[in-house]
Amino acid sequence: DAKTTQPTSMDCAEGRAANLPCNHSTISGNEYVYWYRQIHSQGPQYIIHGLKNNETNEMASLIITEDRKSSTLILPHATLRDTAVYYCIVRSHMDSNYQLIWGAGTKLIIKP
Amino acid sequence: NAGVTQTPKFRVLKTGQSMTLLCAQDMNHEYMYWYRQDPGMGLRLIHYSVGEGTTAKGEVPDGYNVSRLKKQNFLLGLESAAPSQTSVYFCASSYGSGAFFGQGTRLTVV
């Protein structure tokens, strides 16, 4: 079973910041938080990951709470092309494999 | 820069037929993976490989076999296709953190 809980769907207006929450209350000390997205019928796309510090890249920002039990992915200026299913996944870098456990994700719809 | 390439993109099989899905990556990644995705669901790991010549079972390996004879290629085989294997198959490769995915193979077994 997925170790994360996400809302089923969210809407956001184009040009606004999209804030996608994720709960991972059972996360362990060596587990990272990963975000991927999947645009309709395409392969998943890596967005960002972090351990405990906030992270930012050209696509998004990741805010992780101090207790690490939840996080928020922020798309600062959402566009219509950001409409996708967003997956929050926890994974240990101690694993010798890369078995990501995928939940159902959040379907984000960006509205004009 | 091709990244991860999957062939074929679409295929229809009859029950009992066999086929091989090919995944090729040009990023020199050690790790490669095969996932399947059923409608409305997240991805489930079928098999994976942590290097050339090695393979291991994932969450849903039954009915599938894999081979990693070359570092850049990861093959997924269906020996006797069943309707329950109708799905979209994704290959991915990784250097240890973020994974790169192919565009998928849509397989229908009738």
**CB-CB neighbors (< 8 A) of B48 in chain A:** 97-99
Distance CA A26, CA B33 (A): 26
Distance from CA of B20 to the nearest CA of A (A): 19
Distance CA A3, CA A103 (A): 8
Q: Looking at residue A96, what is its pLDDT?
A: 58
C-alpha distances in Å from residue B107, one per residue of A40, A42, A98, B14, B36: 17, 14, 24, 11, 10
* Residue (of A19, A61, A100, A17) closest to B42 by Cα position: A100
Query: Of B38, B101, B105, which to mutate for an interface test with A (greatest number of A Cβ within 10 Å)?
Result: B101
Distance from CA of A65 to the nearest CA of B (A): 21
Calculate mean pLDDT across residues B85-96. 92
Amino acid occupying residue B41:
M
C-alpha distances in Å from residue A44, one per residue of A35, A84, A88, A102, B2: 10, 10, 12, 11, 16
Q: Looking at residue A103, what is its pLDDT?
A: 84
Q: What average pLDDT does the structure give for chain A?
A: 91
